[in-house]
Structure 1
Amino acid sequence: MIKQVKSTLHASDATLVQDAVGAVALVIMLVGALHLPGLV
């Protein structure tokens, strides 16, 4: 089972990085949206 997980992660390195970047962008937008009412 560990071999399957390693091979899956190795095969999807590029999409894994893209997904991580997308998740970080979503978190940044969420934090910005939550701070927006305080600026008005």
Structure 2
Amino acid sequence: MARELKLVVHRSRDTLVADALGAASLAVLLIVGLWLPGLI
């Protein structure tokens, strides 16, 4: 099981980085979107 996970992570390293950046940007947009109405 651990060997399979390591193999999957190794094969899809580029897409994992892109997906992590996309998830982080969505989290930032969500936080800003929820925080912005409180300023107005």
TM-score in same-fold range (> 0.5): yes
The runs of 5 or more residues in structure 1 that have no matched partner are none
TM value normalised by structure 2:
0.92
Question: Over the residues paired in the alignment, what is the CA RMSD in angstroms?
Answer: 0.6
Residue 36 of structure 1: CA displacement? 1.1
Separation (CA, whole Å) in 2 of partners of 1:37 and 1:22: 24
TM value normalised by structure 1:
0.92
Q: Deviations over 1:1-40 (max 9, x none)?
A: 1111100000000000000000000000000000111111
Which residue matches 2:12? 12
Amino acid corresponding to residue 17 of structure 1 in structure 2: V
